[in-house]
Each structure stands twice: as C-alpha cells, then as structure tokens.
A and B are shown apart, each in its own frame.
Chain A
C-alpha cells in the first residue's frame, strides 16, 4: 500500500522528470530554431550572391561587349525556384513564430529586396533577350483569404507553365522603403494584386483560367 508521503514523493519525481523532459524539448527546439534561421540566412545569402553574380555578369558584358543573353536560362529559372522556396519557408516560420519578430522583419526585408532585384533582372532579360518568361508581381496580405487562394492559383500556374516567375510581396509589410517605392509605383492599394509582365494590373482574386489567358496574351 502506498502511503501519502510515498505518493507525494512519486508524484514529485514524476513532475520533476516531466519538467526535465520538457526543458530538454524546449532546448532542442531552440537549437533547431537556430538551425532553421541559419539555414534561411544561408539560403538568402546564397541567393543574394547568385543574383549579384548575374547582375555583375550582365553589367560586364554590357560594358566590355559580348552576348549578355548568354546568361543561361536554366540558371535564371533555378534562381526563381530558390526564391519561391525561401518565400515558403519565411511564410511557414512566420505562422509558427519560430523567429523573433525583429529578426524576422530583417530577413523579410532582405528577401523583399532580393525579390525586387531578381524581378528587375528578369524583366530586363525578358526585354533585352526575348526570354519567354512571364514575370508576375504578387502583392498579398497574410490575413486575407483571397490572397491565400490567389497563392494556390499562382502555385498551380507555375507548375503548369514553368516559364512563369512569381515574386511575392507582403502588402502590409512597411519596413522597407524600396518595397514602399514599388507599391507606390504600381499604386498597390488592395490585396491580392497582380502585375503581369509590368503591363497588366489585376486587383482582387482572379481564377486560374483567366490568369492563364492573360499570361498567354502577354507572351
């Protein structure tokens, strides 16, 4: 028979072990979160470097002569896919509060700038080299269901038509002046808004068929 003192003792031991296991879980979680942030930062760094590499290469060829359109299309496509991955990671970490707010804003800012830079590069490549790309700027709002659904449509569009590059921006994110300039430039006031190939502006949710029709017209 277990007496009261013994009962209290085993309950305390159980409580102690439970706390130890939870603290171990917390510590593991914190170290994994650090790993996640490091991985994200590495991805952003790598992507920044790649974008910078393309820009420098393009500039070099423009200055000293050569075929600036020789920038290989698959390399550019890989850059776009990497950007998409970083965007998805950022969104998932934002919803699970993995990263501290200030650090998250910093990374989001770097990501936004990277996207603007890549968008500019892709647009100029399309114009100057007749690349068969469709470049879409997507302004969303995390708290808006239509934005979420437009995201699904764009995901499908990219898979159906791999020559589509989507650059996503949080319309409510006000930490970066360059992004603010982009928003003012395209007069972005509602979410979702799509800018297709720098020509067509679509406000509100548009379905996949309409979007495919619009992108085909713009090729």
Chain B
C-alpha cells in the first residue's frame, strides 16, 4: 500500500513537471503597443501600516504612467497606529475610512470600489512596492475584452532570515508557474501585490467577497466562473514583504490554504466542466489531485514514522542503555542493495525536473539561483512544513473553526 501510494505520487509529480516544462517552451502571449492610457484607480487597503505605507505610496507616485490618469485611494481599515497621519502627508492621495470593523481586506476594498472613478482598478497591499513601469506593462493585456484581470510578477526584496530566503525561492517558482498558467489560460489567483481589474466588471460581479479569507483567490475564481481570464504580465515587477517568523508564516499559510480549499469547493461547478476550457478540465482537477496526493502522502508517511517511532521507543524501554547495541547499521553495499530503485528512479527524475524548473524560474525572473542552506531546506524540511500547513488547514475546514483574516 505504502509503495503504491509513493509510486502514484511520484508518477503524478513526474507527469506534472513534464507538462509544465513543455508549456515553458510555448511562446508568450504577444502584447500590443499601448494605444491609450485608461484611467486607473489604485486602491491601497491599510491596517496598521505606518511603517511601510509611505514607501508603498512613493513607489506608486513614481509610476511612469500619466499622472492625470491615476487616482490613488488609501482605505484606512480601522488602524490603531499612525497610518492615517502618514497618508495625509501625501496630497495626491485620497484617504477614506472603512467603517466596517474587523471583516477583512475585502470590506476595505469594497469601500474603495465605491469611490473609484477609474476604468481600471488596481489593488496594491500597503506593505508592497511597485516598479516604475509595472503598471504600464500590464495595461496592454486589457486589449483582449475577455481579460478580467492582470497580475504582476512578485519578488521579495532583500530577504534577511531563513524564513524569508525560503519564501523567496517559493515566490520565484510560484510566479514562474503562474506565468505558465497564464500561457495555457488557467491562472486563477489575483494576489494583492498589484493586480488590476476592470472596475465595471468587478462592480457588476458584486465586488469583493467580504465573507472570504482569501478574497484575491475568490475574485479570480469568480472571474473565471464568468468566463473572464486572468493574465500575468511577467515584465511587470512588484515587491512584497513576507512573514519573517515561524508563527507569522504559519498563520498566513493556514489562511491561504483554508481559502484554497473553501474557494475550490465554492466553485466546484467548474470542475471537469467543458464550458470552462482547460480551467475546468485540467487546472481544477489538478488542484484537487495535488491536494489529495498531499493528504494521502501525509497519512502514509505519518503512519510509517509513528510505527517506527513506536518500535524505537519500545526498543529503548526494552534495552535501556544497551539500545545502541541492537541497532544494525547497514554497510554501503547493503544500503545500495536495499534501495527501491523502482521508486527511487522516477523520484530522482522528478526531483531533477523540479530543480530544472526552479533554475528556469530564476532565469526567467533575472534572479540568481544560489546554493545555500535555504535551497537545501526548501527541498527537504519545507515540503514537510507545507504538508503540515495543508493538514492543519484541512482539519480546520472540516471542523469548521472560525475563519479569521
């Protein structure tokens, strides 16, 4: 049973890696030269962002986009620090207040949406920064009337500790995969670090879902459910701040993964539905399959670890200080002979392909792949931590604990 699960999982990993590698060599969507600059309303929801918001606003003010075509709205989401005072320093910025208390970012965005006068609506997190030409690079994608949203390429600037370094690798790969998803038109996420929407369309669809902890995933899936596509502009570069402690990272990922489970279930009508093209026939089944593979792998590995630990504890209780004598360390020959090559071979190939994809992702984002401890942890410890995030998120969704932002 254990072998079968590992076998199926490695086959799945191999198949998907090979699939994305082929997609990688497809030509990018050709974007036209910008013929006009539509008015863009930039919404910056802010909750206690006194330390970062000035940088965010400055980066927005430095955008190489016609100044008369930009409207900047900061929505103060009941901050208890000096965020409003900092924002008031910027005369070009409209500061509005979200009266709804503690219902999350979607509520703040909907408040901003009421005031938005732009044809396009850009959302930027208050701890993010945008590159000068990032907005310009996005606009031409809206020439296609079926494009509902365009997202940017997110980078982590100057990661400091090990958590940030690992997330840097994760973001590079995730951004690269999003680029590939955009190529096959299955992209279904609009992160808060500069995503641009059609204002009228978002209003028509009812705004952002205030009962959702991952409103960025929900709105993207809603766009897809209404047959609008989400595109990624790889040349539009933005920078974000990531969790720098274990606890922050844990809480963020539980929220994301709970949101993933909740929203994939919410839009299950698209699952295997031909009407939604590759999104329904490929991407959503792939999401579900990935999720079930992670859960099954966790059960199998946890069972194996627990039984081995139980035996080791029993051995220690039985032999006490003599336990060391009962351990038979295999020779190199025995070790090599005992490798399950039927499983090890495809797993090794899958690993090499993942590494190849990671390397390509770095090149595609003009980043350097560094052989450092973060890389080692990313391939060894981090997958286990991610699995724990998934299991915890799944458990919380099953027992229906309150979803908190």
Binding site for B on A (CB under 8 A): 1-2, 4, 7, 10-11, 13-15, 17-18, 21-22, 24-26, 28-29, 32, 35-36, 39, 88-89, 92, 96, 148-149, 152-153, 155-157, 159-160, 207-208
Contact status B341-A28, CB under 8 Å:
yes
Residues of B contacting A14 in the complex (Cβ-Cβ under 8 angstroms): 15-16, 18-19, 22
Contact status A32-B334, CB under 8 Å:
no
Q: Complex: how many Å from CA A11 to CA B184? A: 12
Contact status B345-A1, CB under 8 Å:
no
- Per-residue A-contact encoding for B335-350, CB less than 8 Å = 1, 0 else: 0011111111110010
Contact status B341-A2, CB under 8 Å:
no
Question: Which secondary structure dominates chain B's binding surface?
Answer: helix
Known: A159-B325, A208-B319. A13 touches B278 (CB 8 A): no
Q: Complex: how many Å from CA A156 to CA B316? A: 12
The minimal Cβ–Cβ distance linking A158 to chain B, given in whole angstroms, is: 8
Beta-carbon nearest neighbor of B320 in chain A: A208
Contact status B319-A152, CB under 8 Å:
yes
Contact status B184-A2, CB under 8 Å:
yes
Residues of A contacting B278 in the complex (Cβ-Cβ under 8 angstroms): 2, 4, 7
Residues of A contacting B323 in the complex (Cβ-Cβ under 8 angstroms): 156
The minimal Cβ–Cβ distance linking B145 to chain A, given in whole angstroms, is: 15
What are some 5 contacts across the A-B interface (CB < 8 A)?
Answer: A14-B19, A28-B345, A155-B325, A156-B325, A156-B326
Most buried by A among B29, B337, B349: B337
Contact status A25-B322, CB under 8 Å:
no
Contact status B341-A25, CB under 8 Å:
yes
Residues of A contacting B185 in the complex (Cβ-Cβ under 8 angstroms): 1-2
Q: Complex: how many Å from CA A44 to CA B59? A: 75
Q: Complex: how many Å from CA A160 to CA B326? A: 10
Residues of B contacting A36 in the complex (Cβ-Cβ under 8 angstroms): 337
Contact status A2-B183, CB under 8 Å:
yes
Contact status A18-B11, CB under 8 Å:
yes
Whether B277 is near chain A, meaning CB under 8 Å from some CB there, is yes
Q: Complex: how many Å from CA A14 to CA B350? A: 12
- Per-residue A-contact encoding for B253-289, CB less than 8 Å = 1, 0 else: 0000000000000000000000001100010000000
Most buried by A among B278, B328, B341: B341
Known: A7-B282, A14-B22, A156-B319. 8 other contacts (CB 8 A): A4-B278, A13-B18, A17-B14, A28-B345, A29-B345, A32-B339, A88-B328, A152-B318
Residues of B contacting A159 in the complex (Cβ-Cβ under 8 angstroms): 325-326
Binding site for A on B (CB under 8 A): 11, 14-16, 18-19, 22-23, 26, 29, 183-185, 277-278, 282, 311, 314-315, 318-319, 322-323, 325-328, 334, 337-346, 349
Residues of B contacting A2 in the complex (Cβ-Cβ under 8 angstroms): 23, 26, 183-185, 278
Beta-carbon nearest neighbor of A149 in chain B: B318
Residues of A contacting B14 in the complex (Cβ-Cβ under 8 angstroms): 17-18, 21-22
Residues of B contacting A96 in the complex (Cβ-Cβ under 8 angstroms): 338, 340
Q: Complex: how many Å from CA A43 to CA B311? A: 30
The minimal Cβ–Cβ distance linking A30 to chain B, given in whole angstroms, is: 8
User: Which of B16, B314, B327, B341 is within 8 Å of A32, CB to CB?
Assistant: B341
The minimal Cβ–Cβ distance linking B143 to chain A, given in whole angstroms, is: 14
Known: A1-B29, A96-B340, A159-B325. A21 touches B318 (CB 8 A): no
User: Which of A7, A18, A25 is within 8 Å of B15, CB to CB?
Assistant: A18
Beta-carbon nearest neighbor of A32 in chain B: B341
Beta-carbon nearest neighbor of B229 in chain A: A1
Contact status A25-B277, CB under 8 Å:
no
Contact status B318-A207, CB under 8 Å:
yes
The minimal Cβ–Cβ distance linking B12 to chain A, given in whole angstroms, is: 9
The minimal Cβ–Cβ distance linking B315 to chain A, given in whole angstroms, is: 5
Contact status A10-B23, CB under 8 Å:
yes
Known: A25-B341, A89-B334, A208-B319. A11 touches B19 (CB 8 A): yes
